[in-house]
Amino acid sequence: GVGAARAGNLTFMVGGVEQEFNAAKELLTCMGSNVIYCGEVGTGQAAKICNNMLLAISMIGTAETMNLGIRF
């Protein structure tokens, strides 16, 4: 989020040609504390989508649990 960006604690999941990743990594580490090479083009985006899906599932479970607790 915004707080992590201001603090330079973002995580970058990067896909692409490894040589290009290595060239960009120094710049990315200025903005984020975790820079992860995921493989070929598209794999960084796939990793981000999986991460977002896991977060969404966790938040849905939390909301459903709160709703159930309130109803009881």
- Catalytic site positions: 48
3-state class of 8 per DSSP? coil
How many CB atoms sit inside 10 A of residue 14's CB? 21
Asked if residues 11 and 47 have their Cβ atoms less than 8 Å apart, the reply is no
